[in-house]
Amino acid sequence: MAPRCATWRSVVLALIAAGAVVACERGNGPVGLGERDALTQQIVNMGFRPDMIVEHENYFVVEGDILIQKADLLRRMGGAGRTTGEPGVPPIQPQYVTNIQVSTSKISYIYVNIDATVNSAWATATRSAISEWNAISSTAIRFVEMAPADLVVSTGGEILYDPIAQSSFPLAGGAPGPTITIDASHAEWGSTSQKKFVMVHEFGHNTGFRHTNLVSLGEGLLPWGANLISGTPPTDAVSVMNGNTGGTLWSGFSYYDQVAARSLYPAPPAPYVASVSTSPSPARQYLPFTVTVNGSGFDTVDPQVLYTRQGCDPRWGSCTGVYSAPQGIFAVKTPTQLVFNMAFSITGTYDIQVRSGPKGGPSQPPRSFTVLSYY
């Protein structure tokens, strides 16, 4: 008999924003008896077995660890309420991603807060998981520990059935799933490596990844949808997004995990730089000068200017740098022009490139300007 581990094949229907709206309209009081039966029926309509639905005050837990908020069910009952198998609704396939995905403007800047309820071991695992996602090349996915957060990692036991952790799917409008909750009874669970695997997996759900093995787990299309990601096979035994994998040691993303990430959230395209000029020209050592970059594709969340000094030996100091919009350095920032001030103490020729955010590819080829001696 298989051990009862890892029922964190969890996905939370925490459409927080929508739920809040419903709460305002209906008030926060307990759901009435007739209404409760209707909610249960709605879950059955989604394809769940009636004997696997456990009711809590504000939500249901189905099949062990899938959390469905009552507020969201109420909202859905006011809408189409269609489920898979009905006419016009696609059948379940071996698929991977929710209908709603994180928006292009948010995917490279998912701000994460690890709140005070998270112990240091889980906080370390969370930060390691963030580093792993951020290290996948050629994908826009990027988490940043910053406030105000889009995604809060916390520890709590009340809402959990028995998983190690559970997270939420992206919200309507393209915000990432706003929560990861570590089960309080698992605060001391697992090795560093096992915790890291769990957190990498949960962050995957926040960006819309469903379980790679959802078919074999018997997980339904559900209201979130499950769409095949281009370039990935129906099964992948080493995918970090397989469900029922709690306890697995972290050994990296599978090849197809990375294919899926790049397919779903490709790296932002490199802008084009037509020309770079300085004023005064040529630029002079020590003196501030203005750099004007003309081109296209600068209309992204965060166009960044990279500079590299030709012939620089990195053993003697930094040869490269980045100027980006969050630093507030652009005097002019339009889709076709960036203007900013610089000053260099070292003479030489500097290569300039522009990229769309930290994970965007740099424009090619580099354009250059020269800094001459002041003297």
Kindly list the residues in this chain that would bind Zn ion in the complex (CB under 5 A): 9, 243
Least gap, CB of 110 to Zn ion (angstroms):
18
Residue 203, judged by CB atoms within 10 A of its CB (0-12, 13-18, 19+), counts as: buried
Residue 230 zone, left/alpha/beta (φ > 0; ψ -120 to 50; rest)? beta
Cα(290)–Cα(156) distance, rounded to whole angstroms?
A: 52
The residue (of 9 and 76) whose beta carbon lies closer to Zn ion is 9
Whether the CB-CB separation of 229 and 96 falls below 8 Å is answered with yes
Whether the CB-CB separation of 247 and 5 falls below 8 Å is answered with yes
The residue (of 243 and 297) whose beta carbon lies closer to Zn ion is 243
The residue (of 225 and 266) whose beta carbon lies closer to Zn ion is 225
The residue (of 139 and 244) whose beta carbon lies closer to Zn ion is 244
The residue (of 260 and 291) whose beta carbon lies closer to Zn ion is 260
Least gap, CB of 193 to Zn ion (angstroms):
18
Cα(115)–Cα(95) distance, rounded to whole angstroms?
A: 33
Q: Per the omega criterion (within 30 degrees of 0), is the bond before 282 cis?
A: yes
Residue 367, beta-bridge partner list:
352
- Tokens 């300007």 locate to 369
Whether the CB-CB separation of 182 and 154 falls below 8 Å is answered with yes
Residue 342, beta-bridge partner list:
289
The residue (of 9 and 359) whose beta carbon lies closer to Zn ion is 9
Residue 205: count other Cβ atoms within 10 Å of its Cβ. 29
Whether the CB-CB separation of 366 and 279 falls below 8 Å is answered with no
Least gap, CB of 134 to Zn ion (angstroms):
20
- Tokens 């040691």 locate to 249
Least gap, CB of 244 to Zn ion (angstroms):
9
Q: Is 73 helix (H, G, I), strand (E, B) or coil?
A: helix
The residue (of 167 and 278) whose beta carbon lies closer to Zn ion is 167
Least gap, CB of 128 to Zn ion (angstroms):
18
What are the backbone dihedrals phi and psi of residue 354, each rounded to the nearest 5 degrees, phi first?
-125, 140
User: Is beta strand 367-372 parallel, antiparallel or unpaired with respect to 348-356?
Assistant: antiparallel
The residue (of 167 and 356) whose beta carbon lies closer to Zn ion is 167
Least gap, CB of 220 to Zn ion (angstroms):
14
Cα(368)–Cα(316) distance, rounded to whole angstroms?
A: 22
Least gap, CB of 201 to Zn ion (angstroms):
6
Least gap, CB of 114 to Zn ion (angstroms):
19
Which residue minimizes CB distance to Zn ion?
9
